[in-house]
Chain A
């Protein structure tokens, strides 16, 4: 049996999984920033109860396997709180995002803490409020410092998105498994999927590195502390 023509026949279907996988990744990355950045600020500048709450959140989401988080939210928590009608895709994206927020908050926290404390004091002595100083002095630098570390979250979330197969999200791996069942061709299909993941992985990283170069302050160096 000649494998190549069959592989080419199924390629469009295989590629249709890419949009779903990337959808998961972008939703998760976005949610991660949206939650992770405030969490980092809370952990650095917040009152004791806030710091404590963020610490617990991070410990919980970083301590659990992604498979268990998906099972817990998909079968347990979401149906129990009346969100059982959500699609597997939405649950997958939310869980990847909640978990991403835990990791990203620590990347942002490190970056915020690496901006020297004197800058805060200097900004305050110029009459800025604490909030203005954080927004206009600390954060613009911290976000740039955080970007290289943040970029590394992309491959992590991309490879973890494949675990959403377990709750039935129709992403790249699920489609791969379906094609394998249909055609009984195993290794070439799996390798094609692996190839697509590798292209997405390193291609995306290349784009992110380009972004890093673009937003760096001239003479400041991206990520240099």
Chain B
């Protein structure tokens, strides 16, 4: 079979199918990873000491363990105690756990960087603690966390490839299948690499635009080097 036919009739359609699964994995993980990350950061910073300790321990364990091992526990381990997930769901759960722990660290950095006086001022104006966190502290902290959060989002795109190790046929899996079937390893993986590079590069540009968009007029743009 000639090269052009291989690329356009076999490799390209397979990779596009894989890409759709990759995008589904990311779309299912990212929002929950962010939401859980916010909850953990707020819990750690403002919660009851017990909750704070739990959040800290959660981040400690997730950050200390390889994501692949976490995925194995979710997919191969949990069935032994009667909890069974499909490979896709197990992957998404693993990505959410991992993503949220790292996001929480950046958001906590943002929370710490907001002067305590703002909290005091908000409460002096009659806001409850919760209202002050939600309406005063978090909107600023999240903006400062954006550079870190965008980095984590890009990591999520890349680490979504580990779903293949749980037999989810996403981008990496699609490439591997074609490579093995046609013995064209370099060509297939190079094509997969191109798709990832395009995906990551587009995302990098997009998050930079987002970062500029959400700046509150009149405030200084979050400076990554000044971050905690």
A and B co-occur in one complex: yes
* Known contacts A65-B161, A68-B161, A187-B77; is-contact A76 B186 (Cβ 8 Å): yes
Give which listed residue, A63, A160, A166, A193, contacts B201 with CB less than 8 A.
A63
* Known contacts A76-B186, A76-B190, A177-B72; is-contact A71 B66 (Cβ 8 Å): no
Question: Chain A residues in contact with chain B, CB under 8 A?
Answer: 59-60, 63-68, 71-72, 75-77, 79-80, 155, 158-163, 165-166, 173, 176-177, 180, 185-187, 190-191, 193-194, 197-198, 201-202
Q: How distant is the Cα of A121 from the Cα of B193 in the complex, in angstroms? A: 43
Q: How distant is the Cα of A60 from the Cα of B186 in the complex, in angstroms? A: 16
How does the 8 Å CB contact mask read for B165-189 relative to A, with 1 for contact and 0 for none? Answer: 1000000100110010000011111
Complex: chain A residue closest to B74, CB-CB: A190
Within 8 Å CB of B197, what residues of A? 59-60, 63-64
**Contact present for B158 and A64 (CB under 8 Å):** yes
CB distance from B67 to the nearest CB of A (A): 7
Q: How distant is the Cα of A201 from the Cα of B59 in the complex, in angstroms? A: 13
Q: How distant is the Cα of A66 from the Cα of B165 in the complex, in angstroms? A: 13
Q: How distant is the Cα of A159 from the Cα of B69 in the complex, in angstroms? A: 9
Within 8 Å CB of B61, what residues of A? 194, 198
Complex: chain B residue closest to A189, CB-CB: B77
Does residue B192 face the partner (Cβ distance < 8 Å to A)? Answer: yes
Within 8 Å CB of B186, what residues of A? 72, 75-77, 80
Q: Is the interface of A mostly helix, strand, loop or mixed?
A: helix
Complex: chain B residue closest to A72, CB-CB: B189
Does residue B221 face the partner (Cβ distance < 8 Å to A)? Answer: no
CB distance from B46 to the nearest CB of A (A): 25
Does residue B65 face the partner (Cβ distance < 8 Å to A)? Answer: yes
Complex: chain A residue closest to B203, CB-CB: A63
Give which listed residue, B81, B158, B190, B201, contacts A65 with CB less than 8 A.
B158
Within 8 Å CB of A59, what residues of B? 197, 201
Does residue B114 face the partner (Cβ distance < 8 Å to A)? Answer: no
Give which listed residue, A67, A155, A190, A193, contacts B162 with CB less than 8 A.
A67
Complex: chain B residue closest to A66, CB-CB: B158
Complex: chain B residue closest to A193, CB-CB: B69
